[in-house]
Amino acid sequence: MDINTVTTTPLDWCGEGLAIACFAGVTTPLTGDFAALNDRLDGTIAELISEMEFTGKAGSSAVTRVGTHSPVRKIILVGLGEEADYRLNTLRTTAALIARIAKQQKLKTLALQIPPIGTGAQMAQMLTEGLHLALHADHRFKSKPEDQPTLLATVDLLGLGDVGTGVATGEAIAQGVILARELVAAPANAVTAVTLAETAQSLAQEYGLELEILEQADCEALGMGSFLGVAKASDLPPKFIHLTYKPAGTTRRKVAIVGKGLTFDSGGLNLKVAGGIETMKMDMGGAGATLGAAKAIAQLKPDVEVHFISAATENMVSGRAMRPGDILTASNGKTIEVNNTDAEGRLTLADALVFAEKLEVEAIVDLATLTGACVVALGDQIGGLWSTDPDLAVQLKAAAEQAGEQFWEMPLEDQYFEGLKSPIADMKNTGPRAGGSITAALFLKQFVEKTPWAHLDIAGPVWADKESGVNNAGATGYPVRTLVNWVLS
């Protein structure tokens, strides 16, 4: 799909589909440029508004065919809602709605006329993200590709002028989100620790990134007993992935992004028996988003050094599996009594956080599909955020706002650590049921000594059961956009 920013007005554009976004309160007779366009199209717009009772309500739409001799074949009206509620992120969801309508109508060429907000480059970026993400379809595992309607070949963003950099930014971010989606959506026999490492290798080769893959023996030498305790039940080798982007010029800051990489979670000997085991291919959502962010950042080339880290493995059942009651020793020397083998993600993250801090970065952000408790608390559209540093929390919330992804800051209530205390080790890997997402964050906190750190629990929003906004049903690629915006900020 070729997306162009042009100075052309709706009055002068010719093609298959012209989409116009309107604020609430659209009535006839029309005025101004809207009236002129309506006259050019022989009153089609006024008729459409009247017949469909279109008022510009947020998320509403109306489509009609225009006369045979018209320079435009179809008119698409979409509602923006109240003008006072208009935000940059509205552009993403509006573009997604238009893209799906264009797909249904089998349009090859399309133009978008959107009321101005922010800068032209920002508008182009948001619209580009929405178009690409809504049209992304994953049919990799079909034996015969399904018949698909013709996808858009050309989209003109009217009235924006020469802001191709905004389109390029939007395309890079969309590519990162789509990579994360496809990693998370793939079955566990297609995406393993080995294939995650191969994906990192492909990114390194394509974009000139540095790559270090620690094998099991390397992890043993570093004392990563917590990570390896989880990994030892699998017949597939663990891979500790360390991918690095370094800017060509002066480095403004140095950060680390750490993603949970459980490519399948059976629960271990605490086997998942209450349902949901079939969805555990998505337990590497943190690693998927980490690699997706790497793909975007490598193209955008910010002046920030970024380390992308994931301790990748599966949590399986075998004669080698860690047992409830076992004690593991992490690479910082802290000991962990395993009282639930199904709380394995935090065990892998423990050694990954210790590794990240040794890089002497200025901030560490980890992200993980960590707890069902966070889904209970915040639902399936909002992620949890915990941080030891107020400034870092503010940065991430601002990045999320810009990304159109939701996070809610949660408390790091130190007294809750009492529930993690073990009589025979430094800590247990799970606490009581109450406050489960908080105690999980407090567990991770034990493996970062001084560096500003934030933990993102993304268990809910990494998957969507139905189409919403820029997300189609399935893996969402959350929170790639937030991570990229944070690095760029």
8 Å CB contact between 283 and 265: yes
Helix (H, G, I), strand (E, B) or coil at 230: helix
8 Å CB contact between 441 and 455: yes
Residue 128 sits at φ, ψ, to 5 deg, of -65, -45
Indicate the burial class of 252 (C-beta count within 10 angstroms; 0-12, 13-18, 19 or more). exposed
Question: What DSSP character marks residue 280?
Answer: G
CA angle 83, 84, 89 (to 5 degrees): 80
Omega prior to 247 cis, within 30 of 0? no
Residue 305 sits at φ, ψ, to 5 deg, of -80, 130
Span between the terminal Cα atoms of the chain, in Å: 28
What is the Cα–Cα distance from 367 to 284, expressed in whole angstroms? 10
Question: What DSSP character marks residue 320?
Answer: T
What is the Cα–Cα distance from 10 to 64, expressed in whole angstroms? 16
The torsion of the CA quartet 269, 272, 274, 280, rounded to 10 degrees, works out to 180
What is the Cα–Cα distance from 312 to 195, expressed in whole angstroms? 10
Which residues are the active-site residues? 272, 346
What is the Cα–Cα distance from 181 to 415, expressed in whole angstroms? 37
